[in-house]
Chains A and B, each alone.
Chain A
């Protein structure tokens, strides 16, 4: 009898929003089986509801849907939807999870997502996905691109579920026989080694704040309602209008901090994301209108602290003309002129009271934890903070008080998508670190028959044309298209199918391949985006290379969009089939490429981020080289004394350094730099200044950043003026310079948010507030002044800001064009600042001036590494990630990752999370035996290539290079993403893309 392994190589992920999806994908790609549980009938969470995303203004759905598809189709992710976790018992490595899987009443295996049922269903229900602004049916799909692409029945609304003899219209129309009104809830038990909680958030329930008029005035909307109005898939097809009367609004206001920074309702925290989303909504709303739209944001402090957020704010203000009104809003009432407009009454900064009317008012709702998850957390004994968020255990980024249970996303504290994604990857790394010994024990891999060699065979194309129930067949004359297909060159078999995607059709396709010797397959049905992989699977099962397949989209792009023109739709379907047939004749098998890889990692930078990454990689069982250019580990954290949440940082850093030095898997190099780099993912060769060459498969860049050396405010000229890091040292030492001091002044935004560095350094507000409190602790009698532009104590740090004010710290806002003046005085220095309430200059005789100096990138180091590893920097010299939203630690170049301050300003806790995230992503590479790529890459005809290098210049993946001796371009298939930019650039026609060659595309054009 074999002994059961002591741990389970599977992970439970609770909540299938972007965090859950990211964590699942990272884990599944790293060798773990994942159970992804969500209470909704589809995965996706909140992100599908959003229209655009800041700061790139990418369409939310566009960037999410590839991940939805990847996650949904992943062999090692079991997405359990319509389900809730009831209980988790056990210990790290061995948890037993009880899941209640609610009846869906539709079998997702059988449902093809065609939607005929919903068309027939007579029951209309407010669509919660559209925030109730439009109806859906009782049988519904959560949203258009949902995975699983299957319908579900709302049992509370379905007539037949309420009365078994009633209705049943959906049953009649569903030709796939997927609907069963008698389905029952199920209880499932699973075993996992780790648990990740990422259930997301709920929006603040605004009804408790009557003064905003929500529910009373129909033109007061929530921010999520407004997202849906902006969305092209929303209730008005993206047309900006008031839901109440359809009027195009001329003026829209946003009110910030609704349900945030409000102690009276126990929401004393800052929700961190609302400033940015309000700006985004205002900017996007302006893009939506063909007339000038007036937008105004009523705010207290503008908290655009994330990477590139400040620039977004600047652009909104200066280029897009969004108005920003620093104010406190008293109430929103109706304008009483019959217009339905909303009147905002507010107090200005100087205490005067104004009001202004708007067509629409959008309430920027804060985030709060989901009560059901709070209940589950209670059952599990998870410690939550006073607001019921599951704040990570200090300096773990993702840990909870329960070993083996991790947290990611907004449940750990309000946060935006990039940070959520980061934390998700970090949670994946943390949960995998416990399970390294059982990696790969639960994952599945599929076996296929050997591939038939079709080289040199005459083209024998089989065409399968789908009715999709009535979705295609009721518009397009399918038999006519079949008859037409039979006349096309190379076609030896054509047939029609009721559902091409059903199990039995799959078997029939395989049979036909065998019987007719087919070597090219065409399915004319729905979108290749959703169904191509499935049909390609059928080809593989039949021993054909999956790339001998082509689809014609005669549903989504034909029958559904030309419903009233059946003849023309039929003609179009014929053309689409013809194009596919012409292309298919030129299709060739594409072999996937496999290359050996090195499974060691290089971490550059021995600060906390680099060390955290190294120790985590080591726990996953990988060998790590950690390179630090100075002589000691620790980085800038060596100068930190007080953690934001009171942690003893010197002790933490000391222990981490010891841990790294004593780890057998980690080889530490200090006092050396990188001098040269060759190779690519899986096969890097990095040369150190010592001459040593390190071979590694991946690299994590964690080069940190520096504190700006101010040139202003008498810094360097007067001993009483110091940076926060310098002040921190004195505070910790209880230096006599401080103990005797009476007046302390902190000046914020020194070297940040200016023309030279148009970014917010993110942590200085919190740091100053923390130090102000330390000063008060040291000497309660001291006067402490914080001179600021916006206080950006985001998240739970808002509590600290409140505490500081309660303890008498005085906050004075200055305006950027009237900065404080620091002059040398008889005793200490004289600081003059114009108070924003009084409007008059205030003089402070300061004993100590603390400058909140910016965090600046190490341009020299970063610049070199950027060239060595072919990864970009942004204008400020920080590394630029592959995608600001969804790939926050990745680069376009495979196998290169980053974390920490090298990416941009953030605090220690966040750096630790990001370091783990980089490991989580790196492990998806390291876990592979070899580098295997699909093979749809570019290839070079050396005879034609002139070696001009334009392909090299345009390749975003740095996958092509001109060989120095042969003077021809060479493609690295391991890196090529198959985008084809090279092929479009090549004048000589020497470079082409497998699966989408010039010849194939031209064949399609010729078919017209």
Chain B
């Protein structure tokens, strides 16, 4: 079986999350391996979230904002 990475993304509500919405509106197709956590601002991005996500089996973490 091919490796299917699990990616957790922390996206800022105001830009990247909106960008992810826009990708949807534009029907831009991308692999369904990503799980998005919406945060109020990338300032909310506690480094421990990244570590915790990796601990819980995420293969990658994307922070964008």
Contact = CB atoms under 8 A, between A and B. Distances in A.
Given A979-B44, A998-B46, A553 B6 contact: no
Interface residues of A, number: 51
Interface in B1-26: 6, 8, 13-15, 17-26
Interface string B26-46: 111111100111111101111
Contacts of B20: 556-557
B20 to A, nearest CB: 5
Contacts of A571: 32
Given A579-B37, A984-B45, A233 B26 contact: yes
A564 B29 contact: yes
B15 A59 contact: yes
A65 B52 contact: no
18 contacts: A62-B15, A145-B18, A145-B25, A557-B21, A561-B30, A561-B32, A562-B32, A564-B29, A571-B32, A572-B32, A576-B35, A956-B43, A981-B43, A984-B44, A984-B47, A993-B40, A1001-B46, A1008-B8
B63 to A, nearest CB: 11
Given A557-B36, A572-B35, A579-B37, A529 B24 contact: no
Contact of B22 (A144, A555, A1002): A144
B8 to A, nearest CB: 7
A1001 B21 CA distance: 20
Interface string A983-996: 11000000001011
Given A62-B15, A565-B32, A1005-B56, 19 more contacts: A66-B14, A145-B18, A145-B25, A553-B21, A556-B20, A557-B23, A557-B24, A560-B27, A561-B32, A564-B29, A572-B32, A983-B44, A993-B44, A995-B40, A996-B44, A1001-B37, A1001-B49, A1002-B49, A1005-B52
Interface of B: 6, 8, 13-15, 17-32, 35-41, 43-49, 52-53, 56-58
A562 B27 CA distance: 8
Contact of B44 (A115, A237, A555, A980): A980
A526 to B, nearest CB: 8
A959 to B, nearest CB: 12
Contacts of B26: 144, 233, 237
A978 interface: yes
A394 to B, nearest CB: 40
A575 interface: yes
A555 B18 contact: no
A827 to B, nearest CB: 64
Contacts of A563: 27, 29
Contacts of A561: 23-24, 27-30, 32
A568 B32 contact: yes
Top 9 closest A-B pairs, CB basis?
A: A980-B44, A556-B24, A981-B43, A979-B41, A560-B24, A984-B46, A568-B32, A144-B25, A556-B21
Interface centre among B40, B49, B53, B58 (most CB of A within 10 A): B40
A529 B17 contact: yes
Contacts of B30: 561-562
A123 B13 CA distance: 35
A576 B32 CA distance: 12
Nearest to B27: A560
A555 B21 CA distance: 9
A633 interface: no
Contacts of A579: 35, 37
A207 interface: no
Interface in A936-967: 936, 954, 956
A1004 B38 CA distance: 10
B41 A980 contact: yes
A983 B42 CA distance: 11
Interface centre among A561, A568, A956, A1002 (most CB of B within 10 A): A561
B18 A62 contact: yes
A643 interface: no
Contacts of B47: 984
A569 interface: yes
A983 B46 CA distance: 7
Contacts of A998: 46, 48
Contact of A1008 (B28, B35, B45): B35
B41 A529 contact: no
Contacts of B13: 529
A594 to B, nearest CB: 21
A558 interface: yes
Contacts of B6: 1008
Contacts of B21: 527, 529-530, 553, 556-557
A1006 interface: yes
A138 B27 CA distance: 19
B10 to A, nearest CB: 8
Contact of A996 (B40, B48, B58): B40
A528 interface: yes
A996 B41 CA distance: 11
Nearest to A59: B15
A233 B26 CA distance: 8
A292 B11 CA distance: 31
Interface string A523-559: 0000111100000000000000000000001011110
Contacts of B25: 115, 144-145, 556, 560
Given A556-B21, A560-B24, A1008 B40 contact: no
B24 to A, nearest CB: 3
Nearest to B4: A568
A984 B32 contact: no
Contacts of B35: 572, 575-576, 579, 1008
A1005 B10 CA distance: 10
Contacts of A65: 18
A557 B23 CA distance: 8
A706 B43 CA distance: 38
Contacts of A956: 43
Contacts of B43: 954, 956, 979-981, 984
A530 B22 CA distance: 12
A567 to B, nearest CB: 9
A984 B50 CA distance: 11
B32 to A, nearest CB: 4
Contacts of A564: 29
Interface string A642-660: 0000000000000000000
Contacts of A115: 25
Nearest to B10: A1001
B39 A980 contact: yes
Contacts of A558: 24, 32
Nearest to B53: A1005
A84 B48 CA distance: 54
A17 to B, nearest CB: 20
B52 A1002 contact: yes
Nearest to A984: B46
Nearest to B22: A144
B40 A980 contact: yes
Contacts of B24: 527, 555-558, 560-561
A837 B14 CA distance: 52
B59 to A, nearest CB: 11
A952 to B, nearest CB: 14
Contacts of B28: 237, 561
Nearest to B52: A1005
A1008 B58 contact: yes
A871 B58 CA distance: 41
Contacts of A1001: 37, 39, 46, 49
A184 B30 CA distance: 42
Interface centre among B17, B19, B37 (most CB of A within 10 A): B37
A556 to B, nearest CB: 3
Contacts of B46: 983-984, 998, 1001
B62 to A, nearest CB: 13
A568 B6 CA distance: 12
A546 to B, nearest CB: 15
A579 B40 CA distance: 17
